[in-house]
Chains A and B, each alone.
Chain A
């Protein structure tokens, strides 16, 4: 006599609305509209997968991973999503990553990364006003004009941007080729960028012309999301383009796309100290100059590849010369 079939039916789950979902629901304007889904594996550490064990024991530790209850903060969940590559694509051995292109200071078209004298912080520095710029010894760049010309956290106003490169970071792959040609499914064409709207927005800095971009949405916690694609043109420049074989990059293998954007501190940081007093701290910074006391504020920018789901998070340090400090334009 046959035994009963094992019940391997549907997985039934109770979902909780995120805080942003509740906000949209409360608006009552139809903006709460679920149209798609994604799976994630935030709790899983694939380093626990034992490739040397017998087939039944390879993932024993992973399967024993306890799962946390849902977190309602929309920015706290679904950080590592699962991907679909399309039918029949099971033989991928490599997947692309994203890397900050962290070239030396002074190189054209690169992002400025400062290791501060103060060991408390080694993130990316965003000077707030011209006074900061002077104190960071960039007067030799010939900066003149209105504040807005110096707003982005850059040293070289003409071209400094945050640059993030995508690709296979393995020397086993050919760095002279592009993912677009070899594995088009892995080529990233669209990025979402998340920043705290209280402090800054995302902008384009094209040959010294700064253009703030409009966020796609701002959630209940003030987290703004920007969408940049290969089709996004600002001042006739693209934010996303394919890396070429002649580009300098930290990606060691097959190249993907390059994303560039800049950070635009908002008026609350520029014209008052209130945000610094509430969220920040004072730090002594020494950047090629005598130490000065700065009001500083820590935040971050998170970049997510929409197609691959891969994400990187960049720490930011907004710095503003304390008003009582002497300017040193030397």
Chain B
């Protein structure tokens, strides 16, 4: 029986997983623009336009603080608490007693000394980061001094598991050791990066690393007690950050938008590799020597006679493959692949077409 279709054997199909990495770099110099969309978060665009329909959205910024911080009568306190809990709930999950976990810059330190009670959240857009941020590729460059660059990087960080997949610590790094007072084990960890969720959790105190800020501790801790300040201990409160960089104001009494804007204005570059996870099915379409040597092409025949044989029954039949079709049981064409050039098929050769479908 002549046949146009050939069934695939079980071993003719394999499923493989691949990752496709793409470099993403959002530079402030390229024309960043911001637009407030909601009182709960701030949107960063890559282009100079603030029009939703025209600009490429890169990431959102918001600010939150834990319920352990002192209660404030300020209008944004509850919203900030809700934001913190929302992120903590999604990214970290719950303790065994049902309470929401807190962000901790020293996850193995059970004392909670470096629990991050105030946090800026940078959510990278799915359209930019694809399935996840590639581990070891992240570099968020900020300029807390207004001119010097400080990098927050995940390179060399231990990968830890969490509710959304994996995360790592973000380390502060700068070539300027004069102005940036980075002490390993003290203030070098300034955030967390959640790879699959595409969220960077950044301590607002990252701005205090700049030497001039630490030099002038003063001010009030009206809303946030010194014991809950986070990584830098009691020598620093939020007001001194406010004094130098206009940050503390946002953290203690400002709106979420104010806090997000403060970080946004200090970000120079967000650089990372996005990873797209590809699941591919590969079908091995095998044409043995005695298969697919004749064609139903209307030009193949003249008066029912095979043209390429030249009236010689002993001449070998030949065909030229240009297309591979993958079919369902009822001969429905489900996928199609093209060759770059015609491939000769005769009874004297065999071939295997590896046809890949990415999902």
Contacts and interface: CB of A to CB of B under 8 A. Distances in A.
Given A13-B355, A35-B8, A87-B290, A311 B333 contact: no
A243 to B, nearest CB: 15
B329 interface: yes
B343 interface: yes
Contact of B337 (A70, A185, A310): A70
B213 interface: no
A184 B1 CA distance: 6
Contacts of B357: 14-15, 17
Given A11-B352, A16-B337, A308 B347 contact: no
A170 B303 contact: yes
A325 interface: no
Contacts of B99: none
Interface string A300-311: 000001111111
B186 interface: no
Interface string B332-359: 1111111111111101000111111110
B320 A62 contact: yes
B325 A78 contact: yes
Interface string B287-303: 10011111111111101
Contact of B293 (A36, A45, A63, A84): A84
Contacts of B329: 33, 35-36
A207 interface: no
B333 A39 contact: no
Interface stretch (A91-99, A125-133, A229-237): A91-99
A40 B333 CA distance: 12
B316 to A, nearest CB: 6
A90 B6 contact: no
B294 A95 contact: yes
B310 interface: yes
A83 interface: yes
A225 interface: yes
Given A37-B326, A42-B323, A84-B290, A95 B304 contact: yes
A216 interface: yes
Contact of A70 (B290, B338, B352): B338
Contacts of B320: 41, 44, 59, 62-63, 65
B309 to A, nearest CB: 6
B356 to A, nearest CB: 5
B342 A92 contact: no
Main secondary structure of the interface of B (DSSP, over half): strand
A40 B343 CA distance: 11
A20 B336 CA distance: 11
Contacts of B292: 39, 82-84
A46 interface: yes
Interface in A1-33: 10-18, 20-21, 24, 31-33
B342 A83 contact: no
Interface string A67-91: 1111110100110111111111111
Given A91-B314, A97-B301, A77 B333 contact: yes
B155 to A, nearest CB: 33
A184 B3 CA distance: 12
B4 A307 contact: yes
B94 to A, nearest CB: 32
A49 interface: yes
A173 B298 CA distance: 19
Interface on chain A toward B: helix, strand, loop, or mixed SS? loop
A217 interface: yes
A21 B335 contact: yes
Contacts of B338: 13, 67-70
A91 B295 contact: no
Given A17-B334, A49-B307, A84-B6, A37 B290 contact: no
Contact of A309 (B4, B287, B334, B351): B4
Contacts of B310: 51
Contacts of B321: 39-41, 82
B307 A35 contact: no
A265 interface: no
Given A38-B325, A67-B342, A169-B303, A84 B333 contact: no
A37 B355 contact: yes
A85 B334 contact: no
B338 to A, nearest CB: 5
Contacts of A81: 4-5, 295-296, 325
Given A34-B328, A36-B327, A42-B322, A63 B298 contact: no
A253 interface: yes
Interface string A147-176: 000000000000000000000111011000
Given A41-B320, A68-B338, A14 B356 contact: yes
B301 A16 contact: no
A329 interface: no
Nearest to A34: B326
Give 5 closest A-B pairs by Cβ, nearest first.
A51-B310, A309-B296, A21-B334, A309-B4, A15-B337
28 contacts: A10-B354, A11-B353, A21-B332, A21-B335, A32-B334, A33-B328, A37-B6, A37-B8, A39-B324, A44-B299, A44-B319, A44-B342, A49-B308, A65-B322, A70-B337, A78-B325, A78-B336, A81-B4, A81-B5, A82-B319, A83-B292, A84-B4, A85-B293, A94-B304, A96-B304, A186-B2, A216-B330, A309-B295
Given A32-B334, A41-B297, 14 more contacts: A11-B353, A21-B332, A21-B333, A37-B5, A37-B6, A46-B299, A47-B307, A74-B334, A81-B4, A83-B294, A86-B1, A93-B305, A173-B304, A227-B330
